[in-house]
């Protein structure tokens, strides 16, 4: 049984999705989906422990050996991402017991859970597979289910948000497919290990530059790297809050892992940074994302949209870490990936708690909430401090790694930019804190009570994690630096 | 045939791809955009099939007793079966969204929809934005 865990990791949620549709009864589906999410977390945890203990696992799908068959390859790097995705899913899905997608009529909620499980399955598949074409297939499984999830938001603007997400996402996916095709044309293989062995021979050809270009543009769209982030603000704003929490915490993170794998494992750092000079493009783009995203966030009047723009800025920090091409830099990127998932997931759940009671995510309507929903708003403050990067929160840990990576390479301007953009985060977080704590609640509004326990507990698990991992860095930073060392070594 | 003309099928694929991408960018009608996306995806499918072709190759079936059979690479064809399924799913989902957008806005023209959204914002002030995201309405308040 244990030797089949890599396959079960993906197959369990995928098979559970149609079961949800067959079950139909909302309560039964909810309990079932939560159990499935928890079981995927257990599988991911076991895989991470096994990998830390005894090294990379190579699983032959259906008993067919690579390169002819599809290989599932579990390394420290992707086991870390698997644990992240499944733990966020395990926290966010029970939250759904109280409210997930209440904009969806009760009798159709089972469809939301089915799409949710498919999305989880796709994300895990992208992460675990060792086959380039398989990455594309799972990427589309994830994307298609997330278009459906976004379109379940309340109001007609969710539909347009899902539509433009679909158009951009499909263009991105097709570019990746084209890149994979060009790599196959030159090497005759789709297996990642095989590709990394055979590509150096054909590296000099122009086809490889084209392949790399298509892969990068496709992944940048999926990852929402500035200036290809257009789909993200609307999708996160109009999707149901729980869906925003899940997508913000996982979808872009998995794309980041694929990017790191393409850059370091398949093409190799020497080619990407030495010959093509990706850092000369990616560092300015990351800085633009950090400043552009943060400045745009300051001017938002809607908390969800504010958090979405802040996500674009945070993705800038991650890609910046990758473009340093150093151990500290990539560790910073991978740690920030985990940390941002915790804080942004937690913050979106706070929004979900508030909209459940208040029915609005406009900053103006949040006046005086600090006294009416003290526990929820305390969670917002902690999450906000973590976004800024205050010591003892996780945000500090990842920014510490990024700044020291910049200083190591004598990029003092970049180090200064990281600190300066953190100050912009102070502005947009303060804007909400001020409204919540220092403004009188609107006159004549309905009295607003604290969110129910079933929502507060998941929110505080994620927010509490931002403090816990801020103090105990060995778990995240330790594993992340091992993962970064593995990726940088170029060993698949 | 060598040189640029010898690669004519790649030129056709690039042309098809640009046609698709242009439709996606330039058209306002949401259904037409989906069709453009379809053409765009189809060009990649043709690309894969083109690179599988071996000159003089037949179907990859080796008759009993035959030793040297030249056959085209079957793998890209298999991959494209999956890509076609992905394309069909995307098109179906896109068109389903078009139907719901038509129901919600009464239009499938992007410029009209954008205008309606902007007007909605102006009429109800900033708060118009809040309505669509007030998504976590308590179950009892959700219209059946």
Q: Using a CB–CB cutoff of 8 Å, tell me whether A362 touches chain B.
A: yes
Residue in the structure block whose two tokens are 């007793």: B65
Residue A166 has pLDDT above 90, yes or no: yes
Percent of chain A having pLDDT more than 90?
A: 28
Name the pLDDT band for B127 (thresholds 50, 70, 90).
very low
For the stretch B10-53, pLDDT in tens is 889 999 999 999 999 998 899 999 999 999 999 999 999 988 88
Has residue B77 been placed in a domain? Answer: yes
* Within-domain flag for B103: yes
* Residue A38 neighbours by CB distance under 10 Å: 16
How far is Cα B33 from Cα B68, in angstroms, rounded to an integer? Answer: 47
How many angstroms separate the CA atoms of A102 and A154, rounded?
9
In a domain, A178, yes or no: no
Number of structural domains chain B divides into: 1
Comparing CB atoms, the residue among B51, B93, B130 nearest residue A166 is B93
Confidence of residue A176 (pLDDT cuts 50, 70, 90): very high
Containing A124, the helix (H) or strand (E) segment is helix A109-128
* Chosen from A132, A156, A194 to mutate, greatest number of chain B CBs within 10 A: A156
Distance CA A329, CA A150 (A): 33
Q: Where are the alpha helices (DSSP H) in A55-108?
A: 76-98
- Report the C-alpha gap between B133 and A165 in whole angstroms: 17
Whether residue A476 lies inside any domain: the answer is yes
CB within 8 Å: B137 and A359: yes
- Non-local CB neighbours of A99 within 8 Å, separated by 6+ positions: A242, A352, A356, A455, B136, B138
CATH of the domain at B25: 1.10.287.3510
pLDDT reading at A135 higher than 60: yes
Pick from A144, A181, A241: which is nearest to B136 by CB? A241
Which tokens in the block code for residue A56? Answer: 């990379």
Instruction: Please name the member of A102, A148, A166 whose beta carbon is closest to the beta carbon of B142.
Output: A102
Which strand (E) or helix (H) includes residue A58?
strand A57-60
Confidence class for position A445, pLDDT limits 50, 70, 90: low
**Contact at 8 Å (CB) between A71 and A60?**
yes
A 238-277 residues with CB < 8 A to B: 238-242
Tokens 């790297």 locate to A225
pLDDT value at position B52? 85
Name the A residues in 305-334 with CB < 8 Å from any B CB: 305
Residue A45 pLDDT > 50: yes
Compute the nearest-CA separation of A171 from chain B (Å). Answer: 8
Verify whether the Cβ–Cβ distance B130 to A352 is below 8 Å. no
Give Cβ neighbours of residue A331 (< 8 Å, ≥ 6 apart). Answer: A321, A401, A405, A477, A480, A481, A484
**Confidence category of residue B130, pLDDT binned at 50, 70, 90:** very low
Handedness of CA A85, A91, A96, A97 (dihedral sign): positive
pTM: 0.90
Flag whether B5 is in a domain. Answer: no
Interface list for A 285-304 with B (CB within 8 A)? 301-302, 304
Q: Give the integer Cα–Cα distance in Å for A457 and B43.
A: 49
Residue A480 lies in a domain: yes
For range A373-388, the mean pLDDT: 88
Contacts for B3 with CB less than 8 Å, ≥ 6 apart: none
How deeply is A462 buried, as exposed, middle or buried, from its count of CB atoms within 10 A (0-12, 13-18, 19+)?
buried
Q: Is A166 on the interface with B (CB under 8 A)?
A: yes
Count of structural domains, chain A: 1
Yes or no, beta carbons of B97 and A166 under 8 Å apart? yes
DSSP state, residue A108 = G
Among A356-365, B8-17, B56-65, name the most confident range.
B8-17
- Asked if A140 and B90 come within 8 Å (Cβ–Cβ), the reply is yes
Angle, helices B8-26/A157-187, rounded to nearest 10 degrees: 170
Q: Is there a domain that residue B106 lies in?
A: yes
| Contact between B135 and A240 using a beta-carbon 8 Å cutoff | yes
N- to C-terminal Cα separation, chain B: 66
Phi, psi angles (nearest 5°) of residue B108: -125, 15
In a domain, B138, yes or no: no
What is the C-alpha to C-alpha distance for residues A245 and A153, in angstroms, rounded to an integer? 13
Q: Check residue A60 and give left, alpha or beta (phi > 0: left; psi -120 to 50: alpha).
A: beta
Query: Do residues A75 and A51 lie in contact, with contact meaning Cβ atoms separated by under 8 Å?
Result: yes
Q: Is residue A461 part of a domain?
A: yes
Give residue A304's domain range.
278-492
Tens-digit pLDDT profile for residues A391-438: 888 888 888 889 998 888 888 888 888 889 888 999 999 988 988 888
Which range has the worst mean pLDDT, A51-60, A239-248, A363-372, B84-93? A363-372
Q: If pLDDT is split at 50, 70 and 90, which confidence band does A227 have?
A: confident
Which range of residues forms the domain containing residue B97?
10-53+72-132
Query: Three-state DSSP class for B55?
Result: coil
CB < 8 Å to B95, chain A: none
Q: Which of A361, A139, A378 is nearest to A240 (CA)?
A: A361
A156 touches chain B (CB under 8 A): yes
The answer to whether residue B19 sits within a structural domain is: yes
pLDDT at B126 over 50: no
**Is B1 a domain residue?**
no
Chain B hits for A171, CB-CB cut-off 8 Å, are: 21, 24, 37, 40
With an 8 Å Cβ cutoff, are A302 and B142 in contact?
no
Is B26 part of any domain? yes
Chain segment A211-220, per-residue pLDDT in tens: 999 999 999 9
Report the mean per-residue pLDDT for chain A.
Answer: 87
Q: What is the pLDDT of residue B141?
A: 35
Show the tokens assigned to A210.
């084209």
**B76–A167 C-beta distance less than 8 A:** no
Q: How confident is the model at residue B80 (pLDDT cuts 50, 70, 90)?
A: very high
Residue A189's Cβ-side half-sphere holds a number of Cα atoms within 13 Å equal to: 19
Residues of B in contact with A170 (CB under 8 A): 37, 41, 90, 94
- pLDDT in the model for residue A167: 93
> Tokens in use for A212?
């790399």
Q: How confident is the model at residue A96 (pLDDT cuts 50, 70, 90)?
A: low
Interface of B to A at Cβ within 8 Å reads 21, 24, 30, 33, 37, 40-41, 44, 47-48, 51, 76, 79, 82-83, 86, 89-90, 93-94, 97-98, 100-101, 104-105, 113, 117, 126-127, 129-139, 142-144
* A467 pLDDT more than 70: yes
Say what the pLDDT of residue B84 is: 93
Residue recorded with tokens 């030249």: B70
- The answer to whether residue A427 is domain-embedded is yes
Give percent of chain B with pLDDT exceeding 90: 39
Note whether residue A192 is domain-resident: no
Residue A103 to residue B135, Cβ atoms within 8 A: yes
């Amino acid at each position: 049984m244990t030797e089949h865990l890599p396959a079960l990791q993906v197959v369990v949620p995928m098979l559970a999705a149609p079961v949800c549709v067959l079950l139909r009864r909302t309560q039964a589906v909810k309990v079932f989906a939560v159990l499935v999410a928890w079981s995927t977390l257990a599988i991911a945890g076991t895989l991470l422990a096994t990998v830390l203990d005894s090294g990379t696992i190579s699983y032959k799908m259906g008993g067919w050996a690579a390169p002819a068959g599809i290989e599932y390859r579990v390394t420290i790097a992707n086991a870390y991402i698997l644990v992240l995705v499944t733990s966020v899913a395990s926290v966010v899905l029970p939250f759904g017991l109280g409210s997930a997608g209440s904009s969806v009529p009760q009798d159709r909620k089972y469809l939301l859970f089915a799409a949710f499980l498919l999305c989880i399955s796709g994300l895990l598949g992208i992460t675990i597979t060792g086959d380039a074409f398989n990455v594309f297939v799972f990427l589309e499984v994830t994307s298609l289910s997330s278009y459906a999830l976004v379109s379940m938001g309340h109001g007609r603007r969710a539909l347009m948000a899902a539509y433009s997400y679909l158009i951009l996402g499909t263009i991105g996916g097709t570019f990746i497919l084209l890149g994979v095709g060009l790599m196959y044309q030159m090497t005759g293989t789709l297996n990642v290990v095989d590709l990394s062995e055979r590509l150096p021979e054909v590296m000099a050809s122009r086809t490889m530059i084209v392949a790399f270009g298509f892969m990068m543009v496709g992944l940048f769209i999926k990852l929402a790297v500035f200036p290809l982030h257009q789909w993200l603000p609307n999708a996160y704003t109009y999707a149901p809050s729980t869906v925003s929490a899940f997508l913000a915490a996982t979808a872009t993170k998995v794309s980041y892992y694929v990017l790191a794998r393409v850059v370091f494992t398949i093409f190799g750092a020497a080619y990407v940074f030495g010959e093509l000079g990706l850092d000369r493009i990616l560092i300015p783009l990351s800085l633009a994302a950090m400043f552009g995203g943060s400045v745009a966030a300051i001017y938002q009047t809607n908390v969800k949209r504010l958090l979405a723009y802040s996500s674009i800025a945070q993705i800038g920090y991650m890609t910046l870490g990758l473009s340093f091409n150093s151990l500290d830099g990539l560790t910073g990127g991978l740690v920030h990936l985990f940390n941002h998932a915790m804080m942004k997931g937690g913050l979106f759940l706070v929004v979900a708690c508030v909209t459940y009671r208040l029915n609005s995510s406009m900053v103006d309507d949040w006046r005086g909430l600090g006294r009416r929903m003290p526990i929820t708003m305390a969670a917002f403050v902690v999450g906000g401090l973590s976004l800024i990067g205050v010591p003892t929160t996780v945000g500090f840990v990842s920014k510490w790694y990024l700044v020291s990576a910049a200083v190591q390479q004598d990029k003092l301007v970049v180090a200064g930019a990281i600190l300066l953009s953190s100050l912009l985060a102070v502005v947009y977080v303060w804007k909400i804190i001020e409204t919540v704590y220092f403004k009188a609640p609107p006159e004549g509004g309905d009295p607003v009570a604290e969110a129910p326990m079933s929502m507060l507990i998941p929110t505080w698990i994620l927010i509490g994690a931002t403090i816990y991992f801020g103090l105990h860095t060995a778990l995240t930073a330790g594993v992340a630096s091992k993962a970064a060392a593995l990726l940088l070594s170029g060993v698949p | 045939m060598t040189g640029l003309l010898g690669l004519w099928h790649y030129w056709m694929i690039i042309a098809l791809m640009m046609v698709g991408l242009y439709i996606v960018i330039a058209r306002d009608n949401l259904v037409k955009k989906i069709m453009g996306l379809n053409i765009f995806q189809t060009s990649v499918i043709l690309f894969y099939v083109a690179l599988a072709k071996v000159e003089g190759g037949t179907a990859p079936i080796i008759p009993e007793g035959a030793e040297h059979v030249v056959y085209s690479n079957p793998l890209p064809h298999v991959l494209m079966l999956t890509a076609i399924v992905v394309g069909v799913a995307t098109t179906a989902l896109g068109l389903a969204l078009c139907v719901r957008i038509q129901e919600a806005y009464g239009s499938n023209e992007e410029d009209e929809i954008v205008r309606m959204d902007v007007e909605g914002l102006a009429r109800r002030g900033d708060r118009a934005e809040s309505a669509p995201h007030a998504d976590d309405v308590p179950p009892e308040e959700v219209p059946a």
